[in-house]
Amino acid sequence: MELGLGAYLTFASVLFGIGAVGFLVRRNALVQLMSIELMLNSVNVVLVAANRFHPDNHAGQVFAFFVIAVAAAEAAVGLAILIALYRLNRNIETDRAHVLKH
Amino acid sequence: MSDWLSIVPLLLVATSGLFIMLADAFSKEKAELALVTAVSLGTAGLVAVGLLASGSALPPLPEVLGSYLAVDELSLFFDFVICLGGALSALVAGGYLREHELERGELYVLIVLATFGAMVLARSTDLLTLFLGLETMSLSVYAMIAFRRTSARAVEGAMKYFLLGSFAAAILLFGGALLYAATGHTDFAGIGAKIGSGEVEPVLVLVGMLMVLAGLAFKVGAVPFHMWTPDAYEGAMTPVTGFMSVAVKAAAFAVFVRILVVALPGEEVASMTSGWPPVLIFLSVLSMVYGNVAAVAQKSVKRMLAYSSIAHAGYILLGLAAASVVGEPAISGVLFYLLAYTVSNILAFGSLVMIGSRGKEAVDYDDLAGVGRRHPYVALPFIIGVLSLMGFPPTAGFFGKYYVFNAAVQAGGGFVWLAVIGLLASAVGAYYYLRVVVVMLMKSPAEGQVVAVPMKSGYVASALAMSGAAVMVFGLLPSWALDLAISAAQKLIG
């Protein structure tokens, strides 16, 4: 059975939606970071699947590798910030960080 | 070798970033690194403006890079604006870090790397380079905000910006992936040509375009994607706030211009009934109105400037929307606006740094009470900067606003009303900008109030002198910079 591009896009959109809802609903910064990773992975699904339907070059697959590499760099910076936050607040709940309100 | 001529500024910044990282490991005197940073970024900016002003034809890049990086006047113009912002921020940071005993060399490395990312972003002609430039810039900026890692404000600002920024980057990326799925191209020109040919799934293009626009609108801090702006601007150290408000914003607007003109031209996606102009108008009106109104209510001057930067994003978006009708005058207006905004903002944030000293930082209106009478030489640059942000003639900011609103009026139709809304919103802006000036000149500090004492720093003073001179020169003689902007815009539209 051959799946069309639509099936892959539907799957990726569901994955993206789960990530976006997770990011907006959860208040634990680590879980929010994981939700972002889920969204980036849904991007990779679209890129790799779309490449199969545009087979002139490997742009989509190469792009997916770059996304993976950058996601790792993003996680490194993000975790460093969260560690600094934990040292100050002893928790990483985003709604408990509110020094910056006027 | 001459193939690389047009990206010499980019290469200079990249190598100096690596060099400064190495030098940081061996140097004891960190303030010298500030000078090295400022000189290397300044050199790159001067090379860019030299290439631009010479008007010579730029050789195409080697094929391996050709479809990823632009070779045009627009990129050189933004190289100049971004390097200027980076160099002046580095000088201000040099004085600030010494005064507040935070001297660690990483900040300069991060400034250079963020500048590099911003230049790549402004130059990108492919979704891949867009993404890499955006992330190089953003990751460096997140780290710069969290630089003062024992300060709860700094870390909280960095955390909020990081989470929302990564969320927005994921949205932008998903939109980009959808555009790739629809067109089979990741380069802007290919996407634009394929959309123009009409052989694409319109729903995919529309959703992809909206998601890309949302991601970019987040980076420029337009309402309703502005939530991070006040917190990140207030939490960051003042020199970093200055850097964010100029280099990051300029780069994001550069890629905004390029995507709209190159990847999304034509009737299908650039008309008032279906496409991006109405989206930009919506963002622009909300940003102009909300930014100015919210700025009035602020107690902190830094937060006020953050909201005012949202309002400025609104004015620039108005220019971009007008570009769908009139093209070149609107784009050159936007370019000039960004240049004027860069020098005025560095002037305002730099003098805010200068007014404070260790333990007596100037952040709130109360801190500034009477500074103008006690220390007129420090207050003067701040007042010039704020007047330029307000759009008071004959400063650079006046002509920036004039060209953008003028383009909107030329576009005619509903754009005239948008220009009227913009002017009314700027009138609200005049209230809070002038309020700072009044507080500085006429108010006396309350009893027992900690009085801000200006610091002494040659670095900050020279940064202020340069940006102050630029504000006045671009205000009194705007034609030189405007000609560069016009030629860049003409070459882009072709």
pLDDT digits (tens, 9 = 90+) for B380-398: 999 999 999 999 989 999 9
Any idea what the Cα angle at residue B67 is, between residues B276 and B49, rounded to 5°? 80
pLDDT digits (tens, 9 = 90+) for B98-147: 999 988 999 999 999 999 999 999 999 999 999 999 999 999 999 999 99
Q: Count CA within 13 A, CB hemisphere, residue B418.
A: 32
Chain B residues with at least one Cβ partner in A under 8 Å: 127-128, 131-132, 135, 139, 142-143, 146, 149-150, 152-153, 155-160, 162-163, 166-167, 169-171, 173-174, 177-178, 180-181, 184-186, 204, 230-231, 234-235, 297-300, 303
Name the phi and psi angles at B124, rounded to 5. Answer: -70, 140
Longest Cα pair distance anywhere in chain B, in angstroms?
Answer: 72
Any idea what the Cα angle at residue B130 is, between residues B407 and B330, rounded to 5°? 5
Over residues B61-75, the mean pLDDT reads 89
pLDDT at B368: 87
**Contact call for B156 and A78, based on CB within 8 A:** no
Q: Which class for B111: exposed (0-12), middle (13-18), buried (19 or more C-beta within 10 A)?
A: buried
**Contact call for B152 and A88, based on CB within 8 A:** yes
pLDDT digits (tens, 9 = 90+) for B408-445: 999 988 899 999 999 999 999 999 999 999 999 998 88
Question: Which of A43, A49, A66 lies at the smallest CB-CB distance from B174?
Answer: A43
Tell me which amino acid residue B445 is: P
pLDDT at B298: 92
A96 to chain B: closest CA residue: B156
Pick from B333, B308, B282: which is nearest to B388 by CA?
A: B308
Residue B158: list chain A partners with CB under 8 A.
81, 84
| pLDDT higher than threshold 80 for residue B310 | yes
Question: In order of start, what are the domains of chain A with their CATH numbers?
Answer: 5-101 (1.10.287.3510)
- Min Cα distance A99 → chain B (Å) is 6
Any idea what the Cα angle at residue B425 is, between residues B424 and B428, rounded to 5°? 95
pLDDT at B31: 78
Over residues A39-44, the mean pLDDT reads 97
Residue A77: list chain B partners with CB under 8 A.
139, 142-143, 162
pLDDT at A10: 96
Mutation pick from A11, A63, A93, A95 vs chain B, by most beta carbons of B within 10 Å, is A63
pLDDT at B361: 81
Please, what is the average pLDDT of chain B?
Answer: 93
What are the sequence ranges of the domains in chain B?
Answer: 2-493
The DSSP-derived string for A11-63 is HHHHHHHHHHHHHHH--BHHHHHHHHHHHHHHHHHHHHHHHHHSTTS-HHHHH
pLDDT at B85: 97
| pLDDT higher than threshold 90 for residue B490 | yes
pLDDT digits (tens, 9 = 90+) for B249-304: 999 999 999 999 999 887 777 777 778 999 999 999 999 999 999 999 999 999 99
| pLDDT higher than threshold 80 for residue A101 | no
Query: What ipTM did this prediction achieve?
Result: 0.96
